[in-house]
Amino acid sequence: MMTATVRTASGSDRVSPRRRGNCELRKNLEVRYRRRVTRSLPLAVLTVTTRSFLVIFLVVSALNAQTNTASTANMVRIPAATYEMGTDPTDFPTLMEKFGVKRAELFAEEAPKHRVTIRPFYLDRTEVTNGQFKLFIERHTEWQKEKIPAEYHNGKYLQNWSGTDFPIGKDKYPVVFVSWYAANAFCRAQGKRLPTEAEWEYAARGGLKGKAFPWGDEMPDKTRANFNASGLKAPTAVASYPANGYGLFDMAGNVWEILADEWQKYPAKANAASDYLQVKTRRALRGGSYGGSPVNLRVAYRDSHSPENAVEHVGFRCSKSR
């Protein structure tokens, strides 16, 4: 029997950020999408785009078009499925013995086990890297650390960066110190979105049924994932460990992954916000991190934090509807 020290993902996430208006950010986003669409519209349509309802239509159309045409390069197609999500409370005693923990409450958020159905979707093979995020903020300057509104982070946004430059030699490392808002903005700029909890858990299983980890029921070790027993105490470059059955890397350990869902008790329904900049409620996290225990690395384990929270052990990856 092994003893596990369980680390939560949240850290000190009860920071109250300064509140500022987001009018400038919203204006920048609207102008960008209007320009993108109007370049390809015929002159007859352009002559009437000053009408407010057409402006709204153009912005929405641009977002939809971008999502539908996003590249699926470096993504994995996950098939449609109906599966049992979560953990049955009757399994708690067995889990407590296996992982050497004394509190059943550690597993409580995974219950009850319930059936969910997901549609086909695509998921990034790896967590988003520093190199990818740098390209994003160079193009979308409103998300640079000196310009992002205070209400969209907790004061630690891109804390380990200097301006638009990430730490030397960390191009292929997962970007961290990003808020839920920034992760959302990145995915949307690629024509993608954040995955839901139901999508993430099914994808993490890699085609396996009823197994604890992405590779099966064997306990994790330093050859399978980056977690507390690995002794690294920091993220590793993405894809440093074997992929699961779907070809997805780091679905256990390295950094926690930000998801779209509002934090709710099971059974919960996915509720992606239509206006993500207005979200204030806690959001779901999955996967565990370099500081996490084997309990955290299980595919069913759930955690959460505030949307403005930006910490060193939380990153993200993007998904795309078929």
Which tens digits make up the pLDDT trace of 167-186? 999 999 999 999 999 999 99
pLDDT of 150 over the 50 cut: yes
Say if residues 145 and 161 touch (Cβ distance below 8 Å): yes
pLDDT of 111 over the 60 cut: yes
Q: Both tokens of residue 23?
A: 């009018």
State residue 268's pLDDT score: 77
According to CATH, the topology of domain 75-321 is paralog of FGE (formylglycine-generating enzyme) (3.90.1580)
Say if residues 120 and 79 touch (Cβ distance below 8 Å): yes
Q: What is the mean pLDDT of the chain?
A: 85
Give percent of the chain above pLDDT 90: 74
pLDDT of 162 over the 60 cut: yes
State residue 25's pLDDT score: 54
State residue 207's pLDDT score: 98
Q: Where are the domains of the chain?
A: 20-69, 75-321
Position of tokens 């994932």? Answer: 225
State residue 13's pLDDT score: 39
pLDDT of 6 over the 70 cut: no
State residue 38's pLDDT score: 38
Main-chain phi, psi angles of 71, to 5 degrees: -70, 145
State residue 50's pLDDT score: 41
